[in-house]
Amino acid sequence: MKTAILLLHCPDKPGLIAELTNFVTVNNGNIVYLDQYVDHTEGIFFMRMEWDLGKFLIPTDKIEDYFTTLYAQKHNMEFRLYFSDKKPRMAIFVSKMSHCLYDMLARYTAGEWDVDIPLIISNHPDLKPAADRFGIPYHIFPITKDNKAELEPQEMKLLKDNDIDFIVLARYMQIISPEMIAAYPNKIINIHHSFLPAFVGAKPYHAAYARGVKLIGATSHYVTQDLDAGPIIEQDVTRITHKDTIQDLINKGKDLEKIVLSAAVQKHIERKILSFKNKTVIFN
């Protein structure tokens, strides 16, 4: 079954759902998923709709055009249209820690994710053996603060040559430049090893230990130009006690990090995330 997936938001008004579901049904589309939500504070209508294209009367390559003309302009909508037979292409960035990488590659290899992963990028050679185990090309860009301006354009060319749709920072320990962030808006997913906004920046487990918290957390979010301040996708926490050392926190945190990051990546692959004003709407 080939489906179309429509994600949109616009100013709320009466009759939107009726009008939009009507668009699909009168054109012989069969709606297989529909969820909508109105933010009454902001007055914004959000919707995700997916329909079977089997008997849909509008040709696939015309849907975007028709929808823009008939609805998007009229209702001042922002929308994205995807097709289920077009797999998103994902790049993974890593440094030296392998837990998030292995977790994603295991899901990918088991066929759990409808995605292509044509390449892995790192600033270190350490995880090349992990990439090799799964037969995925591993590219090393030894980026530092000093050579970032020189090397990042090469990275971006590689990403472009590989038609990369989105990037996952799997404990990648370099800051992404504003240029690269601008090229991938709401398309770079990071995992931060704290329950944001607590412990922004470097060494959050050390900070958590020093503060004496009883819970540690992890947060996946889209990368924006403000460090660790982009739209949050998923968070979770786990309980610790006074007995846990910093090393215990680091170890316990790994499970959190990989589960929280993979959950965010999965939602992104399934096109179930809408970003609006530095927050996310997550459909389920």
- Residues with catalytic annotation? 228
Q: Provide φ and ψ at 11, rounded to 5°.
A: -60, 135
User: Would you say 62 or 211 has its CB closer to a second copy?
Assistant: 211
Nearer to a second copy, 32 or 149 (CB): 32
Give start and end residues of each alpha helix (H) in 52-169: 63-67, 73-75, 99-109, 128-133, 148-161
**Of 30, 42, 172, 19, whose CA–CA distance to 97 is shortest?**
172
Cβ-based nearer residue to a second copy, 5 or 159: 5
Q: What is the closest distance, in whole angstroms, from the C-beta atom of residue 160 to a second copy in the complex? A: 30
Least distance (Å) between residue 155 CB and a second copy: 25
Q: Which is nearer to a second copy, 109 or 162 (CB)?
A: 109
Binding site for a second copy (CB under 8 A): 14-15, 17-19, 21-22, 25, 30-32, 34, 36-41, 98-99, 102-103, 105-107, 109-110, 112, 130, 133-134, 195-199, 211-215, 217, 231-237, 239, 241-243, 245, 251, 254-255, 259, 262, 278-282, 284
Element (H, E) at 83: strand 78-83
Neighbours of 279 (CB within 10 A): 12
Percent helix / strand / coil, the chain, rounded to 5: 35, 30, 35
Q: What DSSP assignment string belongs to 188-245?
A: EEEEESSSTTTT-SS-HHHHHHHHT-SEEEEEEEE--SSTT-S-EEEEEEEE--TT--
CB of 159 to a second copy, least distance (A): 26
